[in-house]
Amino acid sequence: MRRIPRGIWVLLSANVVIALGYGFIAPALPSFARTFNVSFTAATAVVSAFAVMRLLFAPASGRLVGMFGERRIYLTGLLIVAASTLACAFANSYWQLLVFRAAGGIGSTMFSISAMALLIRMAPADIRGRVSGLFSAGFLIGSITGPLIGAALVGFGLRVPFVVYAVALLVASTVVATQLREVVAADQEQGPTAGLIGFRTALRDSAYRAILLSNFTQGWASMGVRVAVVPLFVTEGLDAGAGMAGIVLAVYAGGNVLAILVAGRLSDRFGRRPVMLPGLVITVVATVLLGFSPGIGVALGLSVLAGIGSGLFAPTHQAALADVLGNRQQGGSALAAFGMSSDLGAVTGPVVVGFVADRVGFGPAFVLTGVVAAVALVAWLFARETAPAIVGGAGPILTSAENETPAGEGR
């Protein structure tokens, strides 16, 4: 079995640190905002501001990656988040906190888009699924354990988690700056590298369209509804305690980890669609039924299934994205749109589903989320297979004069 290149391990390690740090501040951020005597709505707006800035700045981040190279923008993004997080620790008013946290969203989208571009360029074609699985697993493990550490740090003061996260990001930046050297995988060196695939060009590919929809589903269901609405369903709909809501989220994460660990390898061997389709089917069924759970036991079982479904398709569509874009993609609007699709789902999902739950109940609310996943499922039913082991190639099939400007130096 081919070994994973050293540079990818550097990126994977930094990804764990980033996810851990995000978890550090998650328990503290709303409470810290409340210390400035603002409403609950204003406190949650600090959380939303980060996601909104990620969404708004994604197109510019894609262009910056194309102009200056992945490594430079990755490091710049890390340093921006480190500076904004440290500034949050010393905020003296609510508005300072809001502005500092929003600025972190800009840096976040810079390093997330450039990290994906680096993985696309550095991962050998025959292990893209495996690399994507490890990337997703690292983020998930960090996001699970981070809040536990963050809860302990809060005991030393609400500002402490921000300082610790900023220091962790500076350490990660130093490691990446000294240890990462961007190298195109050997099996991609002969591929088309002259320009960047534009969004309109990529959109002609049935696989790319399906990838956008499944990534939107990931943001809507896994990053948005799961965090914001599922705990309310457990406490309000099933009359269980807040502690049980945490257990429901934990078993979802457990199912997620189990599936992620095998999804990447399976998609490398058997293709992307044979893994994507079952994952989306499981997600649709488990999500629709969740809102009609008669008790907490059924809800726990369905949460495990939903986690497995998400774990099957989340890393797989990342690998499919690498197949579609190939090593000539080092940023640009096609990659930026991929990141935006998830952020858009994460921002709109909780609001829309929460509104439906408030008006007609949790059952229809979760049916709506199932419908979102079903749309992605239909798109994948008609999408082409992209895995190199199945189609017999490592690069994209798209060719067009519409490609964007060739990338600048800093490769």
Q: Indicate if the pLDDT at residue 186 is higher than 50.
A: no
pLDDT 10s digits, 334-386: 888 888 898 888 888 888 888 888 888 889 999 999 999 999 999 999 999 98
pLDDT band at 65 (very low <50, low <70, confident <90, very high): confident
Q: Return the CATH fold of 1-181.
A: Growth Hormone; Chain: A; (1.20.1250)
**Is 161 a residue whose pLDDT tops 80?**
yes
Q: What's the token pair of residue 322?
A: 């690498």
| pLDDT score for 371 | 96
Per-residue confidence (pLDDT) for residue 327, from 0 to 100 = 58
Q: Looking at residue 66, what is its pLDDT?
A: 76
User: What is the domain partition of the chain in residue ranges?
Assistant: 1-181, 196-389
Q: What is the DSSP letter of 156?
A: T
Residue with tokens 């809060």: 154
CA distances from 99 to 24, 93, 105, 180 (A): 19, 10, 10, 31
Q: Check pLDDT > 90 for residue 281.
A: yes
- Asked whether residue 265 carries a pLDDT value surpassing 80, the answer given is yes
C-alpha count within 13 angstroms, C-beta hemisphere, residue 385: 16
Q: How many Å apart are CA 232 and CA 241, to the nearest integer?
A: 10
- pLDDT (0 to 100) of residue 78: 93
Highest mean pLDDT among 102-111, 247-256, 348-357: 102-111
Query: 1-181 and 196-389: same fold?
Result: yes
Supply the pLDDT for residue 196. 59
CA-wise closest residue to 305 among 336, 339, 361, 259: 259
Taking a C-beta distance cutoff of 8 angstroms, is the pair 215, 319 a contact?
no
CA 245: distance to chain centroid? 22
- 273-290 vs 242-270: helix crossing angle, rounded to 10: 160
Span 189-214, pLDDT tens digits: 444 444 556 788 888 899 999 999 99
Residue 181 class from Cβ within 10 Å (0-12 exposed, 13-18 middle, 19+ buried)? Answer: exposed
Dist CA 355 CA 274 (whole Å): 35
pLDDT number for residue 407: 39
The CA–CA distances, whole Å, from 284 to 99, 176, 297, 371, 377 equal: 38, 39, 19, 7, 9
* pLDDT given for residue 1 in this prediction: 60
Comparing CA positions, the residue from 16, 47, 369, 5 lying closest to residue 179 is 5
Please give the CATH architecture assigned to the domain spanning 196-389. Up-down Bundle (1.20)
Instruction: Give CA–CA dist 217/390, Å, rounded.
Output: 26
Residue 313 is which amino acid? F
Any idea how long the chain is?
A: 411
Which pLDDT score is estimated for 180?
78
Percent of the chain scoring above 90 in pLDDT: 29
The two tokens of residue 215 are: 């990534």
Rounded distance, CA 334 to CA 228, Å?
A: 29
> Where on the phi/psi map is residue 69: left (φ > 0), alpha (ψ -120 to 50), or beta?
left
pLDDT at 126: 81
Side-chain-facing half-sphere of 308: CA atoms under 13 Å:
11
User: How is residue 384 annotated by DSSP?
Assistant: P
- Look at the pTM and tell me if it is higher than 0.85: no
pLDDT of residue 328: 54
Q: What is the DSSP letter of 404?
A: B
Per-residue pLDDT at 367: 95
* Range with lowest mean pLDDT among 36-50, 167-181, 261-275: 36-50
pLDDT category at 406 given cuts 50, 70, 90 is very low
In Å, how far from its chain's centre is CA 347?
Answer: 13
Residue type, 24: F
Confidence of residue 93 (pLDDT cuts 50, 70, 90): very high
The per-residue pLDDT for 193 is 45
The pLDDT assigned to 404 comes to 46
Averaged pLDDT, 277-294: 94
Question: What is the rounded average pLDDT for all residues in the chain?
Answer: 82
What's residue 366's pLDDT? 93
Render the burial of 2-38: b for 16+ CB within 10 Å, e for the rest: eebbebbebbbebbbbbbbbbbbbbbbbeebbbebeb
Residue 183's pLDDT band, with cuts at 50, 70 and 90, is low
